Structure 1
Amino acid sequence: KGFGHNLKIILDITITIQILCVYSSAQDAEGRCICTVVAPEQNLCSRDAKEGQLRQLLEKVQNMSQSIEVLNLRTQRDFQYIMRMEGQFKGLRSKQAGVNNPERELKGKMETLQPLIPVLEQYKTDAQLVVQFKQEIRNLSMALTAIQEEIGAYDSEELQQTVLSLESRLRNCMSKLTCGKLMKITGPVTVKTSGTRFGAWMTDPQASPTNNRVWYMDSYTNNKIVKEYKSIADFVSGAESRTYNLPFKWAGTNHVVYNGSLYYNKVQSNIVVCYRFETGRVVTQRALENAGFHNVYPYTWGGFSDIDLMADELGLWAVYATNQNAGNIVISQLNPETLQILGTWNTEYSKRNAGESFMICGTLYITNSHLTGAKVYYAYSTKTSSYEYTDIPFHNQYFHMSMLDYNARDRALYGWNNGHQVLFNITLFHIIKTEDDS
């Protein structure tokens, strides 16, 4: 979870070099203003080769600082959540000891909370590790500042090795965070207000950490123009880098960019189109057999939202409904290159009663409305082919949600909320892998 790759978090690490700040009206979950920092400027440190190396190191340190801050937020929030759950567990255990015939509900809560206890100590260890990383980054930033004032006072090769070592350790720490179960949604952060009431915006979860391009698709029908921005900052300021004129108009707002390609529903059909941005051409297109389209089985808000394309940690998915499944939601995993169906799961949740849905780690989460008071009400696991009812509220700030999609790279939900482009933070319950795990 977190907005690490897009909304740049201002850290408590001071680097005394010239910077460029792009401010917006966005706020984080604690109400603090957010700005994007780009450092150093392109014409800075261009006098010789050593200064060029220093510029690259400064950029790496800044990127690592942002990633560490995201990891810190994730670890601290999950740690606080688990500490509260541990308190509940101990309270329930005391109640159970004093009752000869515990009620079924009490047993259920005990079983739900039991898995949290073994991972608590690992969370404490990770929290300490993040604090150590932050201190090392702070020390390295101070060294870089001194070099900025007097080039050559520090062995650049030794500095390079220090940066590489920190990068490696950070990647190892991040890799411990595996797929998890959705526990909480916070926010939203309002990124921008633009377009009509309905639309979609997204980044590519398969892109590299340095590729933060944003794609913007306004309206749910009668349009085939996709706008591209090089970064969140450019998106906020309205500085387009490129536009794409698609060969076919789209239906709905449930598109996804995955590994450099746009996947969308061709208007007035059940055909899924794969459009490659690099070549500006359609790679492939394929019909979803029996899938309803053109407001036969839309979400509650309508808008030709019959076919929802999405991606998560496990790949590309299509969510739709068929007559054969009595209008209930069908989940299909797709081959990103051929669009062939790799597997299909039939749920018992009516597509017309769903507000929106999104996939996280192979589980489909469904909201019960697109209006105020909506919550994540139902979850279907493709791993176990089973479902459960949930009660996870989220703040529908602008009263009408027409797009809600999970980005696995950012661990965030992208939303289009009544003409506002927003981001939601999420909390996942996950097991942290250790070196002893097989």
Structure 2
Amino acid sequence: MRTQSPLVAVVVVPLLFGFWPSVTTVGPREGWQVFGSAQDADGRCVCTVVAPGQSLCSRDAKGRQLRQLLEKVQNMSQSMEVLNLRTQRDFQYIVRMESLIKGLRSKFRQMDSDRRTLASKNFQELKEKMDSLQPLIPVLEQYKTDARIISQFKEEIRNLSSVLLAVQEQMGTFDYDELNQKVLSLENRLRSCMSKLTCGKLLKISGPLTVKTSGTRFGAWMTDPQASPENIKVWYMDGYTNNKIVKEYQSMADFVSGVESRTYSLPFKWAGTNHVVYNASLYYNKMQSNIIVRYSLETGRVLTQRALDSAGFHNVYPYTWGGFSDIDLMADELGLWAVYATNRNAGNVVLSRLDPDTLRPLATWNTEYSKRNAGEAFMICGTLYVTNSHLTGAKVYYTYSTRTSTYEYIDIPFHNQYFHMSMLDYNARERALYGWNNGHQVLFNVTLFHIIQSDDDA
């Protein structure tokens, strides 16, 4: 017999690319790592899953006490090392002084044996040697101070030894290998749970991370959300019109350093900056038309092209910044989408899910949000998110759910660092937003709110 567990709300913070670990680390505190948090529908915290790092056990106050003592011993060791270096330096100085002292001693003997022949020259030599020995006095004083410090160190080490022994007795013979195995088991179970998370609701946008500064004020760059983890190619399309050159880079590092692996010359020029690479094909809006083109990046030829019925084009219904951004192609966890506007819907946003092969609309939703009032838009898990502006101070202002056919006004700010956003698209594989921000290629991290339901054996 199987029973169904209650719904659990989990906040997951996905990280960008392979540069960051797949498990979220939220400010390690005393060696602990936050793997995930749970909260109810009202946002109240229910629990947080945490575990210590594999190389450190800090499970209680006694562990903290041990670490403090360890730090103290390390500080003492460093001080002893400094003292040792200074002692060696001073010892070498004293060795040099020894010959001078011997010479001074013979000079005194000579003076004592023949006081009558003592001349002014002997006094001058004696004075010079005495002057050279003056620095020895503070050195000897320092040795006295160092001797006191060493004595204090010895006493403190004896005290620390007794405290460490007492703490060890209190903690007992706990099996840390067993604890480590439990931590690893918990981590694996949590990773397995997180891997089942597919869709969620946007809670927060953080960043941006500036990857590169290049090109004109307007453009697009992207990776393929359908590609395998080993495929990390980047595609780059500068400008919003009168261009058909696409640059390909084998990796993010190559993109940053400007090492191109291939250049494509498209058969048709593009319009706008709202292109998308999906399953090894580039989808873009053909210039001065409402035709969508599917171009194979593997064969270098057009596979499909189809007009988007009644969609405005060539700055009839663009985003607020213009740039022939009438038709916005995007992809999320559920597939390929087109965001546009029509006369029949009074210039308001229309949303269609497309067949990626034929480009036929599989389903269409009419919203009541003016396309011209939208700054930019992107899809996450079948929900359209619209920004209120393309300029500084922009925020995600409006959402439309294709699952419920309902809209909502929200307030999720994001940092428009370079003041003019001409492209903002979600990548489902990377769980990140790609942006073209006034000639800067940037990435935004997103926080999603997930609702998961799992079945457990009774």
- Kindly indicate whether the alpha-carbon contact (under 8 Å) linking 1:176 and 1:434 is maintained by their aligned counterparts in 2: no
Q: Say yes or no: does 1:239 pair with 2:239.
A: no
Q: Say yes or no: does 1:113 pair with 2:42.
A: yes
2:424 pairs, out of 376, 384, 404, with 404
Residue 410 of structure 2 is matched in structure 1 by 390
Q: Say yes or no: does 1:191 pair with 2:211.
A: yes
Q: Say yes or no: does 1:265 pair with 2:285.
A: yes
1:422 pairs, out of 442, 446, 452, with 442
In 2, distance between residues paired with 1:78 and 1:330? 36
In 2, distance between residues paired with 1:173 and 1:134? 25
Q: Say yes or no: does 1:292 pair with 2:312.
A: yes
Question: Which of the pair has more CA radius of gyration?
Answer: 2
In 2, distance between residues paired with 1:326 and 1:437? 53
Question: Cα offset for 1:177?
Answer: 2.1
In 1, distance between residues paired with 2:386 and 2:197? 24
- Kindly indicate whether the alpha-carbon contact (under 8 Å) linking 1:2 and 1:70 is maintained by their aligned counterparts in 2: no
Q: Which amino acid aligns with 1:338?
A: T
In 2, distance between residues paired with 1:303 and 1:341? 25
- Kindly indicate whether the alpha-carbon contact (under 8 Å) linking 2:16 and 2:445 is maintained by their aligned counterparts in 1: no
In 2, distance between residues paired with 1:134 and 1:339? 54
1:209-247 Cα distance to aligned partner (Å, 9 max, x none): 111100000000010000001111000000011111111
- Kindly indicate whether the alpha-carbon contact (under 8 Å) linking 2:198 and 2:333 is maintained by their aligned counterparts in 1: no
In 2, distance between residues paired with 1:418 and 1:133? 44
Q: Percent identity?
A: 74
Question: Cα offset for 1:169?
Answer: 6.5
Aligned pairs for 1:16-165 (under 5 A) are 66-68=21-23, 76=34, 79=37, 113=42, 120-121=46-47, 123-124=48-49, 127-128=50-51
Residue 253 of structure 1 is matched in structure 2 by 273
- Kindly indicate whether the alpha-carbon contact (under 8 Å) linking 1:68 and 1:170 is maintained by their aligned counterparts in 2: no
Question: Cα offset for 1:131?
Answer: 5.4
Q: Which amino acid aligns with 2:203?
A: M
Distance 1:372 1:330, change over 3 A: same
RMSD: 2.8
1:5 pairs, out of 17, 24, 44, with 17
1:31-86 Cα distance to aligned partner (Å, 9 max, x none): xxxxxxxxxxxxxxxxxxxxxxxxxxxxxxxxxxx33467999x94863xx67xx7
In 2, distance between residues paired with 1:344 and 1:290? 12
Q: Please, what TM-score do these two structures have when normalized by structure 1?
A: 0.67
Residue 220 of structure 1 is matched in structure 2 by 240
In 1, distance between residues paired with 2:293 and 2:285? 6
In 2, distance between residues paired with 1:437 and 1:394? 43
Question: Cα offset for 1:173?
Answer: 3.6
Q: Which amino acid aligns with 1:113?
A: D
Q: In structure 2, list runs of 5 or more residues that go unmatched.
A: 1-12, 58-184
Question: Cα offset for 1:3?
Answer: 3.9
Distance 1:78 1:365, change over 3 A: farther
1:394-435 Cα distance to aligned partner (Å, 9 max, x none): 000000000000000111100000000000011111124434
Q: Which amino acid aligns with 1:5?
A: F
| Paired residue total | 315
Q: SS of the residue aligned with 1:399?
A: coil
In 1, distance between residues paired with 2:321 and 2:363? 28
In 2, distance between residues paired with 1:134 and 1:387? 48
In 1, distance between residues paired with 2:457 and 2:410? 30
- Kindly indicate whether the alpha-carbon contact (under 8 Å) linking 2:397 and 2:411 is maintained by their aligned counterparts in 1: yes
Residue 223 of structure 2 is matched in structure 1 by 203
Residue 333 of structure 2 is matched in structure 1 by 313
- Kindly indicate whether the alpha-carbon contact (under 8 Å) linking 1:176 and 1:433 is maintained by their aligned counterparts in 2: no
Distance 1:2 1:234, change over 3 A: farther
In 1, distance between residues paired with 2:425 and 2:55? 32
Residue 351 of structure 1 is matched in structure 2 by 371
Question: Cα offset for 1:175?
Answer: 1.9
Residue 277 of structure 1 is matched in structure 2 by 297
Distance 1:312 1:220, change over 3 A: same
Q: SS of the residue aligned with 2:264?
A: strand
Residue 159 of structure 2 is matched in structure 1 by none
Residue 365 of structure 1 is matched in structure 2 by 385
Q: Please, what TM-score do these two structures have when normalized by structure 2?
A: 0.64
In 2, distance between residues paired with 1:179 and 1:255? 23
Q: Which amino acid aligns with 2:17?
A: H
Q: Which amino acid aligns with 2:42?
A: L
Distance 1:385 1:295, change over 3 A: same
- Kindly indicate whether the alpha-carbon contact (under 8 Å) linking 1:4 and 1:70 is maintained by their aligned counterparts in 2: no
In 2, distance between residues paired with 1:299 and 1:272? 18
Question: Cα offset for 1:176?
Answer: 3.0
In 2, distance between residues paired with 1:132 and 1:249? 54
